[in-house]
Amino acid sequence: MMRYSLRGPHRASALLATAVALATVAACSNDSPSGPAGPTTTAAPPSTPPPSPTPTPTPTPSKSYPLSSAPRTVPAVRAHEAARGPGWKPAPTGGVVIAAGSGALADEGQLLAGELGVPYRGAVAAGPGDVELALGGTGAPESYTLTVTGGRVRIAGPDEAGVFYGTRTLKQSVKATGAMPEGTVTDRPAKPQRGLMVDIARKHFTAAWLEDRIREMSDLKLNQLGLHFSDDQGFRIESDSHPEVVSAQHLTKAEVRRILALAAGRHVTVIPEIDSPGHLGAVIAAHPGLQLVSASGRTPRGTVDISNPESAKIVDELLGEYTRLFPGAYWHLGADEYVALMSKNPEASYPKLARAAVAKYGPSGRVQDLATGWLNDRAAVVRPTGKTLKAWNDGFFTGGVVAPAKDIEVEYWTGREIGARLPVSYLSEGRKVVNLNDDYLYYILGEPNRFPYPTGRRIYEQWTPRVLRGSTPVPARYDPQILGGRLAVWCDLSRAQTQDQVAAGIRLPLAALAQKVWDPAPPTLTWADFRVLAAKVR
C-alpha cells in the first residue's frame, strides 16, 4: 500500500478543499484499501492569492512489506525471526566489508564478494547495501547470526567457520530467490562431524575432482573429507619413505597440499586413512614377506602378519610420514575386516598368531588380543601429534585381555559382518560414534553384495544420525555420543562408474545428509520440493 502526502505551496482560497482532501486521504491510508473519494465542494480561486510559507517536507512514499519468510537453503536454517522490509540484493553500490578486529575473515569476505559479484572493500565501516562479516559474541562452535535490516547484511559468529556458514546461507538464498529476506537467522549445526569419505585407493580420483567435492561440501556446510588412500588395489599418495608401495596413478604431495589449502579455506578437515592390519595389499605387493599365511597355506589378500615386527615397522614409518603431511585434527586407523578374525576358529587357522598372542599376553591371550594390541600400538604412534583417532567398528573387540584405547572414536558402518556388534554395545561403553550406516550411506561402485546405490530421498525421509544400523534408531539418550555422519564412496568395482558419474550420483545423497546432520527437526519440505531447491542453490 502507498502512503500519500500533499506537496507544494497551498493557495489560500483552496484551504477548504485541502482540508476535505486530507481527511479523505487519511481515511484511505489507514492500512486499508483506498477507494474513490466522495464528492467535495470547492471555492473559486481569488484573483490575487496572498503569499504562503513553504511547508515542512513530508516523507517520500514507501511500501508496506509483509512479514518475511525464512531463506531457502540446503540445509535449512534452524531459526529465522521474520521482519518487514525489502531484504537485501547484491548491487554495484554495495560490497563486502570486514568489521573491526575481524581481519581473519578476509578470505571469507573475498570469496563471498566474488560469488555475489560485488566489490570486496576490506576493513572499512559498513555502508548502504553492504555485507559486513564480524567475529565475536558467544555461541556454539560453527554457529552464526545473520541479520538483514536497513538495506544491509551483518553476519557474525564466535569462530571463522560459523561466519563462513553464514556466507553460505546468504549465497544460497541469493541463488535460490535473488535476495536475502529481511530479519534475523540464528543457526548452528546439530552435529560436529558432517561429511564425505572417498575411497581413492581402489580408484584414482584427480585432485581437481576432489577439489570440486570440497567446494560442493562446504556450500552444504559439510566439514569433513575422508581419504581412504591405501588398500589392496592401490596406494595413491606419493611417498618418500616407501616409494615402492605407491601406485602408478597417484596424487603427488604438491597436489595433496593444494587440496589441503582449499579445504582449510572452506573449513573442511581432511581425514586420512591408512587401513591396517587388513587392506594392505599394495604394501604386501612390494613386501611379500609381510603376508599372513594360514595353517593350510592360504594367503588372505591384503592381510599382514601382525606377529612379524617388520609389519609394524613399515606401517609406522608410513604413519610418521603422512601425519606430517596432513595437519588436520583427525587420523583414521582403519582396523576393519582383518581376515584372521573372520574365520570360525582364528587360533586353529592361524597358529602362528595364536602363539604370538600367548607369548605377549599370557595363557589367556587370543588372536583378537593381538589385533587389539596392533590397533593400540598404531594409535600410540599417532597420538603424540594431537590428532583425534578413529577406527571402524569391526576393529573393536570385547571379552579379551586387551581393550581398545578409550580415546578412539568408533566409525560404525556394518551390521553384516559375522559377529558384528550392535551399536548400543559401543555406546553403552561410553564411546563416541560416527554414523556411516552401510544401509543408507554406502555408495559402492558396481553395487556388489546387494549394496544398492543410496538415494537422497531415502536418507531425507528415513535416516537420522541415530539410525546407525539397519533402519532402527538407537535410544535418544545416546544422541550426544553420536558425533555425526558421513557418506562413503567405495570403489570395489572401480570401473563401474567414471568419476563424473560418481559426482552426479552422490549429489542428492550429500544434500540430504547435509540436511539431516545440520537440523535435528524433521524436514518441512517434501522430497520433491527439497530436490528442486537443491538444484537451485548449487
> What does the pLDDT look like over 367-386, one tens digit per residue?
999 999 999 999 999 999 99
**Residue 64 pLDDT level (bands cut at 50, 70, 90):** confident
The answer as to whether 54 is a domain residue is no
Task: For residue range 24-35, list pLDDT tens digits in order.
Answer: 333 333 333 333
* Contact (Cβ atoms closer than 8 angstroms) between residue 477 and residue 423: no
Q: Would you tell me how many other CB atoms lie within 10 Å of the CB of residue 38?
A: 7
* Contact (Cβ atoms closer than 8 angstroms) between residue 265 and residue 257: no
Rounded CA separation 106/122 (Å): 7
- Do 452 and 346 belong together in one domain? yes
How large is the angle between the packed helices 309-325 and 253-265, nearest 10 degrees? 50
Q: Is the pLDDT of residue 49 over 80?
A: no
Q: Is the pLDDT of residue 144 over 70?
A: yes
Rounded to an integer, the average pLDDT of 479-501 is 98
- Do 171 and 317 belong together in one domain? no
Q: Is the pLDDT of residue 15 over 60?
A: no
The answer as to whether 94 is a domain residue is yes
* Contact (Cβ atoms closer than 8 angstroms) between residue 24 and residue 37: yes
Q: Would you tell me how many other CB atoms lie within 10 Å of the CB of residue 521?
A: 8
Q: Would you tell me how many other CB atoms lie within 10 Å of the CB of residue 466?
A: 17
End-to-end distance of the chain based on CA atoms, in angstroms? 36
Rounded CA separation 36/511 (Å): 53
Q: Give the three-class secondary structure for 39.
A: coil
Task: Please give the C-alpha separations between residue 438 and each of 444, 451, 486, 492, in angstroms, as whole numbers.
Answer: 10, 8, 11, 14
Count how many domains the chain has. 2
**Residue 418 pLDDT level (bands cut at 50, 70, 90):** low
The answer as to whether 22 is a domain residue is no
Which amino acid, one-letter code, is at 363?
Answer: P
C-alpha cell recorded at residue 522: 524433521
The answer as to whether 344 is a domain residue is yes
- Phi, psi (5° rounding) for residue 375? -60, -50
Task: For residue range 495-513, list pLDDT tens digits in order.
Answer: 999 999 999 999 999 999 9
Q: What is the pLDDT of residue 14?
A: 37
Q: What is the pLDDT of residue 27?
A: 34
C-alpha cell recorded at residue 329: 585434527
- Do 173 and 211 belong together in one domain? no
Rounded to an integer, the average pLDDT of 103-117 is 98
- Do 151 and 201 belong together in one domain? no
Q: Is the pLDDT of residue 147 over 80?
A: yes
Which amino acid, one-letter code, is at 413?
Answer: W
pTM beyond 0.75, yes or no: yes
Strand partners, 251: 237
Please list, in sequence order, all residues whose beta carbon lies within 8 angstroms of the beta carbon of residue 446, skipping any fewer than 6 positions away: 492, 493, 496, 497
The answer as to whether 204 is a domain residue is yes
Q: What is the pLDDT of residue 38?
A: 38
- Do 140 and 210 belong together in one domain? no
- Do 123 and 197 belong together in one domain? no
Q: Give the three-class secondary structure for 86.
A: coil
Task: Say which CATH number the domain at 93 has.
Answer: 3.30.379.10
Q: Is 409 a catalytic residue?
A: no
Of the candidates 495, 371, 509, 343, the residue with the CA atom closest to the CA atom of residue 436: 509
Q: What is the pLDDT of residue 23?
A: 35
User: Residue 55 gets which letter from DSSP?
Assistant: P
Task: For residue range 344-354, list pLDDT tens digits in order.
Answer: 999 999 999 99
Instruction: Return the beta strands (E) in 313-403 as ranges.
Output: 330-334, 388-392
The answer as to whether 56 is a domain residue is no
Rounded to an integer, the average pLDDT of 242-268 is 98
Q: What is the pLDDT of residue 56?
A: 41
The answer as to whether 33 is a domain residue is no
Q: Choose the final residue of a domain: 187, 220, 241.
A: 187
Indicate the average pLDDT of the chain: 90
C-alpha cell recorded at residue 59: 516523507
Rounded CA separation 75/534 (Å): 9
**Residue 17 pLDDT level (bands cut at 50, 70, 90):** very low
**Residue 420 pLDDT level (bands cut at 50, 70, 90):** confident
Q: Is the pLDDT of residue 280 over 60?
A: yes
Domain residues for 371?
A: 193-521
Given 108, 273, 337, 411, the catalytic residue: 337
Rounded CA separation 309/289 (Å): 11
The answer as to whether 255 is a domain residue is yes
H or E stretch including 413?
A: none
Task: Say which CATH number the domain at 275 has.
Answer: 3.20.20.80
C-alpha cell recorded at residue 115: 560469488
